[in-house]
Each structure stands twice: as C-alpha cells, then as structure tokens.
C-alpha cells in the first residue's frame, strides 16, 4: 500500500515539476503518444470526468466538451494530423447530407464514390505510398528511397468508421445526421478513436442525444473492464513480450524448435491480450460515459474452425469487411466459385489493411484460403453456419487444429522478414529438441506462469467471466477500493520502464 502511495506522490510531483518548468507535457511528443495506460491520461481523465459529470444536463455543451477532448487526445497521439480527422468528418457529413437530397441514383453513386475516394485516398497515401512505390521500383529494377511519410495513429480505424456511415446512408439503412457536432462526436469519440473497435453509426448515433444516465452497475462494470484490460496489456502482454517473445522473434536461429514454438504460443497470447485489453478499456471508458460498445473479442482461441475464429476475433473489423467489402464484391450471391474468390480477396485486403507489407498480405491470403476451404468442406458435409460440434473429443480436436493454424499464420504476421519466418518453421521442424523443455521452464518460470495464467483465464467459460464481472461490480465501496489497490499494485510491479505502445497503433 505504501509503495502505491509513494508511486502516486512521486508521479504527481514529477508532473507538477514539469508543468512548472514548461508546458511541454501537454504538447505532442512522437516518442510518448497518449495511451490509456499512461499516467498523464489518468490525471487528465480524472479532471475530464469531473467536468463531464457537471455537464450532465447540458447536452450540447457536453458534446462540444467531449469532442474537443477527443481532438486533443488525437493531437497527443499524432500531432497536427488531427486535421485529417476533421477533413474526413466534414467531407462525409456533407456528402451524406447531399446524398439524401440527391434526385437520382446516379448522383447518389457519384457522391458515394467521393466519400470512398477521400477516405481510401487518405489511407492509401499515408499507409501504402512507399509500399506500392517499392513494388514498382523492384519490377523496374531501379533503386527506391522511401518517402518520409508519417503514418497517423488510428487512420485505418476512423476512415473505416466514417466510411461505414456514408455507405449505410447510401444503402438507405440510416438517415443522415442534421448536426455536424453529432457527427464529429461520433467519429472522434476518444475511447475507440485510435485503435477501435470500429463502431457502427446505427449502433452509436442513437445514444448521442439520449439523456446521460450512468447506473452503479455500469460504473462498476466499466471500471472492471478498464482494470482487466490494463492487466491484460501491462501484466500479461507486455511482460511476456519483453522478457521472452521479442528475443525469440528477433533471433529464431539461436533457439531450439521447442523454444520457437513456445515463442509463437507467447505471441498468440500477447497480441490477444494487447488488443483485447485495449478493447476492454475502450468499452469500459465508454460505459463510464454512458455509452455501450459491442464486444470486440469473444474468446477467439476457443474456435472450432477458422470461420468460427473470425466470428470471435476483432469482431468489429471482421463484420465490417463482411458487410462493406465481401457483400459489395457479390458475397455468396453469384455462385460458389465467386463466393470463394470473394472470401479470399476480402481477407487478402483485410491483411493489407493491417499494414503495408507483404507479410500482412500473406497472412490475409492464408486466412482467406482457409475460409474458402472450410466453406467447401461445409458444402461437402452438409453443414450450415449454425452447425455446432457437439462431440467433446471432436470439439477439442477442432479447437487444437484451429488454434495451431492461427498460430502458424501469426508467424508471418509478426515477422516482417519472410526469411525469419522460414527459419522459425525450419527450427520447429528439424531442431525441435523437446529435452530443453525443463531447462526452459526453469529459466523462464515467470513467463511460463504468466502464459499459463493468460491461457487458463482465456478458456474460462464466458458465462463464468460475465457472472464474476457482474458480482464484482456490485461490491461495497470499501471492497472495491481494496480490489483496485491490489490490481494497481500488480500493474506497478509488472509495468516496464518504457511504455509499450499497443500493437494495433501501427495499423
């Protein structure tokens, strides 16, 4: 307890000293982007939440305040590139308004293309210019010096989110908003701004003007989501990454096949805890503000097939790709062969969405081919999308096979260098050496324990986890304080000296 108090006092003293020395703390620093796990955000959010509560009955002023804070939050993450957020917001707001007034379908189509051009154009310039320029240079056999183009944090998320709004208006699924403020609030809402989840307009917009009402259960559940997300990120993900996973992936040839395999298992847990941890914190913060987000991860490593995996992993992105890309390509309406082709193209582009690199393209292609093959198998065996594996042994086998296929794909996702991926696979296939297992456990016992805890918690039934979360949210205030202090102590003990950015910040 004393250690926590000393930590808080020292951190507050440090911030106050920096405030007295200069105002640099509140300016953009590319080496210290604002994240939910930083002390500065916690202090700012405490002040923000107090003012937010005071504006409970002043709807318009509250929306202005939250939008301004969201823009500042993005400024602290990407500097002056917050202007891009404003460009996307203004363009899509007025395009959607004009679309609703258009007299012909042709005019609506041209307006929709304008929205696509602005959103995808910005994304393509900042994310893929060097990638495609390098490919063209390689094809021509000439040297290419990469352009100095900064990738704004979260551009992949807010462009997709804004684009989903204009597409829904084009498809007449929603009516365009009348107030620019409401749309700016929707696009910039800081809990999900820089790393998702991608929130649909039809789910979020009806909540904007609803009277602010945060129940005790929402408050308690929101805090529990934030704390559990922070533990996933700092205690599990960062710890196993810094102390084991990075070493394996940086130099796979120095380790046995067994250690490489454990490194892959570690990365599978790391990326899940990192991204689901961020999603949990985003859901929790939104809940504290009176808003509800849909779940973004649903125990993905319990999946019995690759199709099941993509119903559970990064649900907001996979459903976006399905609704706005796969269906736009024709979905399953143009025959089986076209359906399989559409699946592969959708996942290939989904891989490219993650980053301008061939390793992401290969990762997406592998998942696309696997999805197509699974659809073929379902057609041969007469299964439907609602079919369930009921036999316990067969279900366990399906989970093991699916998990290992996903882990195999993570090799290419994590390694930018294709040669490095082949080294890892070669080490596992030819230099496995299971006899080093005991030595590995002894040398990395803390990492082993953390991985074991992470996987055990992952495979706990969702109903049990939801029930625990509900029960803990109803604890008396003193028990809640004790719980928070205990979790804060764990976070402080495991937190590394340098803040580790969330993996999905790079996407």
Q: What is the pLDDT of residues 257-273, one digit of tens each?
A: 999 999 999 999 999 99
Question: Above 60 in pLDDT, residue 242?
Answer: yes
Question: 31, 143, 314, 354: which one is catalytic?
Answer: 354
Q: Does one domain contain both 234 and 143?
A: no
pLDDT score at 497? 46
Residue with the larger pLDDT of the pair 147 and 350: 350
Q: Does one domain contain both 436 and 287?
A: yes
The CB-based long-range contact list for 7-10 (8 Å cut-off, 24+ gap) reads 7/492
Question: Above 50 in pLDDT, residue 363?
Answer: yes
Which residues, in sequence order, are CB contacts of 284 under 8 Å at separation 6+? Answer: 221, 222, 223, 224, 225, 226, 227, 229
Minimum mean pLDDT among 55-59, 376-380, 414-418, 482-486: which range? Answer: 482-486
Residue with the larger pLDDT of the pair 492 and 135: 135
Burial bucket for residue 467 (CB in 10 Å: 0-12, 13-18, 19+)? exposed
Q: Does one domain contain both 258 and 119?
A: no
Q: Per the domain annotation, does 344 fall within a domain?
A: no
Q: Assess contact for 62 and 56: CB atoms under 8 A.
A: yes
Mean pLDDT of 446-453: 92
Mean pLDDT of 47-60: 88
pLDDT score at 333? 80
Q: Does one domain contain both 174 and 90?
A: yes
Q: Per the domain annotation, does 382 fall within a domain?
A: no
Question: Above 90 in pLDDT, residue 498?
Answer: no
pLDDT score at 213? 84
Question: Above 90 in pLDDT, residue 245?
Answer: yes
Q: Does one domain contain both 415 and 296?
A: yes
Q: Of 178, 208, 238, which residue is a domain's last?
A: 208
pLDDT score at 146? 79
Q: Does one domain contain both 93 and 162?
A: yes
Question: Above 50 in pLDDT, residue 328?
Answer: yes
Mean pLDDT of 391-408: 93
Q: Per the domain annotation, does 187 fall within a domain?
A: yes
How far is it, in rounded angstroms, from Cα 380 to Cα 32? 53
Q: Does one domain contain both 196 and 221?
A: no
How far is it, in rounded angstroms, from Cα 265 to Cα 270? 9
pLDDT band of residue 91 (cuts 50, 70, 90) is: very high
Question: Above 80 in pLDDT, residue 144?
Answer: no
pLDDT band of residue 404 (cuts 50, 70, 90) is: very high
Q: Is 187 helix (H, G, I), strand (E, B) or coil?
A: helix
How far is it, in rounded angstroms, from Cα 313 to Cα 272? 9
pLDDT band of residue 134 (cuts 50, 70, 90) is: confident
pLDDT band of residue 377 (cuts 50, 70, 90) is: confident
Q: Does one domain contain both 74 and 169?
A: yes
Q: Per the domain annotation, does 150 fall within a domain?
A: yes
How far is it, in rounded angstroms, from Cα 274 to Cα 506? 13
Percent of the chain residues past pLDDT 90, beyond the cut:
38
pLDDT band of residue 17 (cuts 50, 70, 90) is: low
Q: Does one domain contain both 203 and 226?
A: no
The verdict on whether 354 is a catalytic residue reads: yes
pLDDT band of residue 7 (cuts 50, 70, 90) is: low
Question: Above 90 in pLDDT, residue 93?
Answer: yes
Question: Above 60 in pLDDT, residue 1?
Answer: no
Q: Of 162, 192, 208, which residue is a domain's last?
A: 208
Host domain of residue 289:
216-304+388-506
Q: Mean pLDDT over all residues of the chain? A: 85
How far is it, in rounded angstroms, from Cα 143 to Cα 319? 40
Q: Of 208, 230, 248, which residue is a domain's last?
A: 208
Provide the terminal-to-terminal Cα distance of the chain, rounded to the nearest Å. 38
Minimum mean pLDDT among 56-60, 367-371, 410-414, 449-453: which range? Answer: 56-60
Q: Does one domain contain both 60 and 152?
A: yes
Q: Does one domain contain both 189 and 94?
A: yes
Q: Per the domain annotation, does 19 fall within a domain?
A: no
Q: Per the domain annotation, does 370 fall within a domain?
A: no
Mean pLDDT of 146-158: 83
How far is it, in rounded angstroms, from Cα 166 to Cα 97? 9
How far is it, in rounded angstroms, from Cα 480 to Cα 85? 38
How far is it, in rounded angstroms, from Cα 164 to Cα 162? 5
Q: Does one domain contain both 197 and 103?
A: yes
Minimum mean pLDDT among 62-66, 109-113, 469-473: which range? Answer: 469-473
Question: Above 80 in pLDDT, residue 409?
Answer: yes
Q: Assess contact for 242 and 262: CB atoms under 8 A.
A: no
Which residues, in sequence order, are CB contacts of 27 under 8 Å at separation 6+? Answer: none
How far is it, in rounded angstroms, from Cα 505 to Cα 423? 27
Farthest-apart Cα atoms in the chain, separation? 74
Question: Above 50 in pLDDT, residue 207?
Answer: yes
Mean pLDDT of 178-207: 88
pLDDT score at 194? 74
Q: Per the domain annotation, does 316 fall within a domain?
A: no
Mean pLDDT of 441-453: 91
Residue with the larger pLDDT of the pair 470 and 45: 45
Total tally of structural domains belonging to the chain: 2
How far is it, in rounded angstroms, from Cα 466 to Cα 225? 11
Q: Per the domain annotation, does 169 fall within a domain?
A: yes
pLDDT score at 483? 65
Question: Above 60 in pLDDT, residue 216?
Answer: yes
């Amino acid at each position: 307890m004393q250690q926590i108090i000393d930590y808080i006092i020292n951190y507050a003293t440090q911030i106050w000293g920096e405030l007295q020395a200069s105002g640099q703390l509140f300016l953009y620093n590319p080496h210290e982007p604002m994240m939910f796990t930083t002390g500065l955000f916690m202090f700012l959010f405490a002040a923000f939440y107090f003012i937010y509560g005071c504006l409970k009955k002043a709807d318009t002023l509250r929306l202005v305040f939250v939008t301004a804070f969201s823009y500042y939050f993005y400024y602290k993450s990407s500097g002056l590139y917050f202007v891009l957020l404003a460009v996307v917001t203004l363009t899509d707001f007025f395009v959607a308004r004009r679309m609703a007034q258009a007299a012909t379908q042709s005019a609506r189509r041209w307006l929709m293309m304008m929205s696509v051009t602005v959103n995808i154009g910005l994304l393509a310039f900042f994310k893929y210019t060097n990638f495609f320029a390098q490919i063209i240079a390689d094809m021509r056999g000439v040297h290419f010096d990469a352009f100095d183009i900064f990738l704004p944090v979260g551009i992949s998320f807010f462009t997709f989110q804004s684009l989903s709004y204009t597409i829904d208006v084009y498809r007449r699924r929603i009516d365009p908003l009348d107030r620019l403020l409401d749309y700016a609030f929707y696009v910039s809402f800081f809990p999900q701004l820089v790393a998702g989840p991608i929130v649909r307009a039809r789910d979020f917009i009806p909540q904007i003007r609803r009277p602010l009402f945060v129940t005790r259960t929402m408050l308690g559940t929101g805090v529990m989501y934030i704390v559990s997300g922070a533990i996933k990120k700092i205690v599990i993900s960062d710890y196993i990454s810094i102390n084991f996973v990075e070493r394996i992936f940086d130099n796979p040839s120095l380790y046995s096949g067994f250690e490489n395999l454990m490194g892959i298992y570690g990365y599978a847990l790391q990326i899940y805890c990192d991204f689901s941890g961020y999603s949990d914190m985003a859901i929790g913060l939104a809940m504290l503000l009176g808003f509800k987000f849909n779940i973004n991860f649903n125990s993905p490593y319990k999946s019995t097939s690759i199709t099941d995996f993509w119903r559970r992993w990064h649900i907001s992105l996979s459903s976006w790709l399905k609704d706005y890309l796969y269906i736009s390509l024709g979905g399953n309406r143009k025959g089986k062969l076209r359906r399989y082709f559409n699946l592969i193209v959708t996942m290939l582009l989904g891989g490219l969405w993650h980053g301008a690199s061939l390793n992401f393209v290969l990762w997406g292609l592998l998942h696309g081919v696997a999805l197509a093959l699974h659809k073929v198998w379902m057609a041969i065996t007469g299964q439907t999308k609602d079919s369930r594996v009921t036999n316990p042994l067969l279900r366990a086998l399906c989970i093991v096979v699916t998990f290992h296929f996903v882990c195999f794909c993570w090799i290419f996702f994590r390694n930018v260098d294709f040669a490095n991926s082949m080294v890892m696979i070669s080490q596992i296939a030819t230099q496995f050496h299971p006899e080093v297992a005991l030595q590995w456990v002894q040398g990395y016992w803390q990492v082993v324990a953390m991985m074991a805890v992470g996987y055990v918690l992952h495979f706990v039934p969702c109903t049990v986890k939801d029930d625990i979360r509900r029960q803990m949210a109803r604890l008396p205030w003193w028990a809640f304080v004790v719980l928070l202090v205990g979790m804060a102590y764990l976070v402080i003990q495991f937190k590394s000296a340098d803040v580790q950015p969330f993996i999905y910040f790079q996407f």
